[in-house]
Amino acid sequence: MIMIWWNSEPLPVPSNIQYTYRNVEGTNSGQTLGGDYSKKIIARKEDLLVSWEGLSSKEAETVGRLRSSTYGSLTFYSPAEGAFVTRTMHIETQSQELTSAQLSSGMLDGSFSASVHFKQR
């Protein structure tokens, strides 16, 4: 079971987490007139694509509230670090899908799926 937290609040247990890594290069990176390549890496970033399947309506509501803030603190297990880390992230994309639903006593209940792309600041 892999746990993640957004601003110290636990999120539902994800079905899948995909890690991507990117380098932030300095302004003088690129090809020189002599044909050599100069690359100055000023930071390495770790982004996550998190997906959930079979969420209850309450869990889907928790995931849906992620968009209410521009930046937040995401605590997650980082394979690159070999430990839990907390990073300042923003939500690049978010999607939610209602996969099955029923109306009971005026309330919608069903099974939801969702995915969120967290991008490190």
The pLDDT, as a whole number, for residue 88 is 97
The residue segments making up the domain with residue 85 are 5-24+39-120
Indicate whether 87 belongs to any domain: yes
Rounded to the nearest integer, the mean pLDDT of the chain is: 88
Domain count, the chain: 1
| 2-54: pLDDT as tens digits | 899 999 999 999 999 999 999 988 887 777 778 888 788 889 999 999 999 98
The pLDDT, as a whole number, for residue 108 is 66
Indicate whether 34 belongs to any domain: no
Indicate if the alpha-carbon torsion angle 5, 6, 12, 18 is positive or negative: negative
The pLDDT, as a whole number, for residue 36 is 81
The pLDDT, as a whole number, for residue 84 is 96
Indicate whether 93 belongs to any domain: yes
Indicate whether 31 belongs to any domain: no
Instruction: State yes or no: pLDDT of 111 exceeds 90.
Output: no
The pLDDT, as a whole number, for residue 109 is 67
Indicate whether 91 belongs to any domain: yes
